[in-house]
Structure 1
Amino acid sequence: MALSTLHNVRFAGMASCVPRRILDNLLDCPPQLKSERERLVRNIGIQNRRICHEWQCFSDLAFNATQKLLDSLQWQREEIDALIVITQSPDYLSPSTAIILQDRLGLPQTAVAFDVNLGCSGYPFGLHLLGSMIAAGGIKKGLILVGDKCASVQDPLFSDAGTATALEFDASAPPMYFDLNSDGSGYKAIMMPAGGHREPFGPEHLIPTRDENGLKQWPGAFQLDGPAVLSFSTQRVPPAVNRLLEYANTPKDAVDYFVFHQANRMINDTIRKKLGLTVEKVPSTLHDFGNTSGASLPITITARLREALRSQSKHLLLSGFGIGLSWGSCLLEVDEHVRFPELVVS
């Protein structure tokens, strides 16, 4: 278990961007799936999702969120020393999306920029990665851009989003506490099997089959083992949260909000109940935004906690979990001067 503490790192701001187009899981589905979708929405808690236009990439959403955040912070572009992009939806297989966004955002060439290939667990890992660089010295201000373009008309779970978070060096900042973990033995539970060197994408991956509802399925498409993900999430996350609280010597009552990756209602309700948390302390955006992969933590904070966090300092426990398998949590204090611009719709 990777328990650690970061000092001298201040959480400065956060902005989120979602596509304008909304998909309704009850209305935007084939007629033969209507009754099945109604049951599914009741179980997973997701009715509306956001989906990019064909011309939009994740980086376009992240760009808009970053522009909004920098304007709110009144940071100058030349002040930024690092740009980390966490996504599984890069513009290209190569070069990294962070390098492209460094130039597009007008950041200095002295800024270090690179991608991290993580999904639903990515946000706490990103905070730790950039925070460690700042705590080590040299880097004073940096950005983490997190999100994915993963929505489709057919799949009722995923939604598109891009987010930006700003961290800066501050010798008086309260400590941040982390618990980061991975278990590669379960990598097949959530995966894109084709397209890498282990299984190169070929013509056979373009030949669809039909499921029991007559809908097309592609052999090379994203695969998710629902029961395995449910078991992993509900068994690993609650003890990890308790372990982090114990490590930080912080009782549950001292945490104002617990923000979990928005997987689905069944998973999130089970985690909440295992931890003995009230509904009021665990904000959710599942109904309105679906599962936005690594962006779900900042989307939930932006959409549900923006006003509360602008009034006074709050303690947040953030927990992401998913592909890898990987799971990570962060306990941090957000002061009333942190910038939280309104949700950007593009």
Structure 2
Amino acid sequence: MALSTLHNVRFAGMASCVPRRVVSNLEDCPPAQRSERERLVRNIGIQTRRLCPDWQCFSDLALVATEKLLQDLQWQREEIDALIVITQSPDYLIPSTAIILQDRLGLPHSTIAFDVNLGCSGYPFGLHLLGSMVSAGGVKKALLLVGDKSGSYDDPLFSDAATATALQFDADAPPMFFDLNSDGSGHKAIFKPVGGHREPFELHHGIPIRAEDGTIDSWPGDLVLDGPAVLSFSTQRIPPAVLRTLEYAAVEKEAIDYFVFHQANRMINETIRKKLALPVEKVPSTLADYGNTSGATLPLTMTARLHETLAAGRHKLLLSGFGIGLSWGTCILDVENAVFPAIIEA
């Protein structure tokens, strides 16, 4: 297990952006599927989702979120020393989306810019990666952009979003505590087998897989999701990781103001909450309104449910992201008088 502490890093602010298009899992489905969808919504807890139009990329949402964050922070572009993008929805296979956004945002050529390929666990990993650069002292102001364009009209689980987080060097900042883990033996639990070098996309991958009645059931290039494996992994690995991080940080569970978990689905999140005996009011959720937005779920939930609270006073948060990889990360941090604009639609 990778337990570590970062010093000198201030959480300066956060902004989140979602597409304007709202899709209902109940209203926007074929009438024949209504009863099945009602049962599904009861289990996963997702009523509506946000979907990008075809022309809109994750980076377009990230650009809007970052512009708003820089404006509210009153940071100058030439002050930004590093830009890290964590996404599995890049604009292109190459080059990295971070370098494209460095140019679109008008950041100086001296800005360090690169991508990280992580999904649901990406936010804690990104905070640690960027925070390590800030903690070392060479990077004074930096941006972490996290999110994905992972939703589709027919899939009731995933949704689209992008978030921007600002970190700043501050010798007086309280420490951040991390526990980051990976288990590649479970990589096929959440898996997109087609499109990489192991199995390049070919003509036969464009032929749909049909159900017995002739309707399209799926496509060879679709995401493969092993629900039972993900449920088992999430509910068995995350509660011990939370307790381990609390012990490492010497923080009592009661001292945490809010526990923000990756918004996987209602069954997983409620099982984790109950195993940890956490009160509902300390565990904010955005599943019903925004669905599973992959790596963006932690910052999106902070923005949607806590932005006014976190913009005033000091609060201690425990963040836990988990999923594709398999990977999982937990962090404890203090947020004091940070910039937190309301969710932006674009």
Fold shared, TM-score > 0.5 on shorter chain: yes
1:95-115 C-alpha deviation (Å, 9 max, x unpaired): 000000000000000000000
For 1:327-342, list aligned pairs within 5 A.
327-335=328-336, 337-342=337-342
How many matched pairs?
A: 345
For 1:253-292, list aligned pairs within 5 A.
253-292=254-293
Q: Secondary structure at the match of 2:59?
A: helix
The answer on 1:228 being equivalent to 2:214 is: no
Which range moved further: 314-323 or 24-33?
24-33
- 1:225 and 1:41 map into 2 onto residues whose CA distance is 18
Give 2:164's aligned amino acid: A
Give 2:29's aligned amino acid: C
- 1:212 and 1:312 map into 2 onto residues whose CA distance is 59
Relative distance call for 1:212 and 1:26 in structure 2 (3 A) is: farther
The answer on 1:244 being equivalent to 2:229 is: no
1:203-225 C-alpha deviation (Å, 9 max, x unpaired): 11111112467343101111111
**Corresponding residue for residue 309 of structure 2:** 308
- 1:227 and 1:322 map into 2 onto residues whose CA distance is 13
- 2:67 and 2:342 map into 1 onto residues whose CA distance is 12
Query: What is the Cα deviation at residue 309 of structure 1?
Result: 1.3
For 1:52-201, list aligned pairs within 5 A.
52-201=52-201
Query: What is the Cα deviation at residue 191 of structure 1?
Result: 1.0
1:101-140 C-alpha deviation (Å, 9 max, x unpaired): 0000000000000000000000000000000011112110
Percent identity, please.
Answer: 74
**Corresponding residue for residue 3 of structure 1:** 3
- 1:219 and 1:33 map into 2 onto residues whose CA distance is 23
**Corresponding residue for residue 218 of structure 1:** 219
- 1:132 and 1:70 map into 2 onto residues whose CA distance is 21
- 1:85 and 1:226 map into 2 onto residues whose CA distance is 28
1:42-101 C-alpha deviation (Å, 9 max, x unpaired): 000001000001110000000000000000000000000000000000000000000000
Query: What is the Cα deviation at residue 311 of structure 1?
Result: 2.6
- 1:44 and 1:167 map into 2 onto residues whose CA distance is 33
Answer whether contact 2:208 2:216 (CA < 8 A) is retained: no
Give 1:16's aligned amino acid: S
**Corresponding residue for residue 17 of structure 2:** 17
- 1:310 and 1:218 map into 2 onto residues whose CA distance is 44
- 2:43 and 2:127 map into 1 onto residues whose CA distance is 31
Give 1:185's aligned amino acid: S
Give 1:82's aligned amino acid: A
Query: What is the Cα deviation at residue 310 of structure 1?
Result: 2.2
CA RMSD of aligned residues (A): 0.8
1:270-304 C-alpha deviation (Å, 9 max, x unpaired): 00000010100000000000000000001100000
Give 2:285's aligned amino acid: S
1:218-242 C-alpha deviation (Å, 9 max, x unpaired): 0111111111000000000000000
Provide structure 1 residue ranges, at least 5 long, that are not aligned to the other structure.
Answer: none
Provide structure 2 residue ranges, at least 5 long, that are not aligned to the other structure.
Answer: none
- 1:233 and 1:186 map into 2 onto residues whose CA distance is 12
Query: What is the Cα deviation at residue 199 of structure 1?
Result: 0.8
- 2:212 and 2:67 map into 1 onto residues whose CA distance is 45
Answer whether contact 2:312 2:338 (CA < 8 A) is retained: no
Q: Secondary structure at the match of 2:158?
A: coil
Q: Secondary structure at the match of 2:70?
A: helix
TM-score by length of 1: 0.99
Q: Secondary structure at the match of 1:127?
A: helix
Give 1:76's aligned amino acid: Q
- 1:111 and 1:229 map into 2 onto residues whose CA distance is 37
For 1:21-32, list aligned pairs within 5 A.
21-32=21-32
Give 2:66's aligned amino acid: T
Q: Secondary structure at the match of 1:305?
A: helix
- 1:122 and 1:167 map into 2 onto residues whose CA distance is 16
- 1:116 and 1:211 map into 2 onto residues whose CA distance is 37
Answer whether contact 2:24 2:49 (CA < 8 A) is retained: yes
